């Protein structure tokens, strides 16, 4: 037990309700430091969060694909308090090429973010064996 009730609950939920896809996502976040989805070999759609099967055509023929490059900020707001997010957290909808719209924590403040802004994925270590991600604005060079 970590001493953090939310992290303990999340780890327990992953053990009980997790799939091989959720376990593999955690492994890829922790070790490879990459955000990945599953790509269907039949209908060619990429899904996030990853699944053991394609939710579009229901085949089990899926492979892992790194996602997140070229992401842009589609919408955002702040969350004062909720179970998943601490305050003051910026949450947003990120448009990931080839995947679509995904809800995610966003690094930054409301005042510094802009719709259409380029984003990069950052992996966050929450606890041993538990990682999350957030998207961060890409600095213009």
pLDDT in tens, 111-139: 999 999 999 999 999 887 789 999 999 98
Q: Rounded to 5 degrees, what angle do the CA atoms 78, 65, 20 make?
A: 85
pTM: 0.84
53-74 mean pLDDT = 96
Provide the pLDDT for residue 9.
75
Would you state the pLDDT for residue 86? 58
CB contact burial 102-130 (16+ within 10 A = b; e otherwise)? bebbbbbeeeebeeebebebeeeeeeeeb
* Domain spans of the chain, in order of start: 5-137
- Residue 15 in 3-state DSSP? helix
pLDDT in tens, 24-55: 999 999 999 999 999 999 999 999 999 999 99
Radius of gyration, CA atoms only, the chain: 16
d(CA 127, CA 90) in angstroms, rounded, equals: 21
Q: How many other C-beta atoms can be found within 10 angstroms of the C-beta atom of residue 19?
A: 14
Which has the higher per-residue pLDDT, 85 or 71? 71
């Amino acid at each position: 037990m970590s001493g953090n009730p939310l992290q303990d609950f999340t780890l327990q939920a992953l053990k009980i309700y997790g799939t091989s896809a959720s376990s593999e996502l955690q492994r890829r976040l922790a070790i490879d430091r990459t955000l990945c989805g599953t790509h269907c070999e039949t209908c060619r759609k990429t899904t996030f969060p990853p699944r053991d099967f394609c939710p579009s055509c229901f085949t089990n023929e899926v492979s892992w694909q790194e996602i997140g490059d070229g992401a842009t900020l589609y919408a955002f707001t702040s969350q004062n308090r909720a179970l998943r997010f601490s305050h003051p957290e910026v949450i947003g909808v990120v448009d990931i090429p080839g995947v679509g719209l995904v809800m995610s924590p966003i690094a930054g403040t409301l005042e510094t973010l802009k719709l259409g802004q380029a984003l990069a994925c950052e992996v966050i270590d929450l606890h041993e064996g538990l990682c999350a991600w957030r998207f961060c604005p890409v600095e213009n060079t």
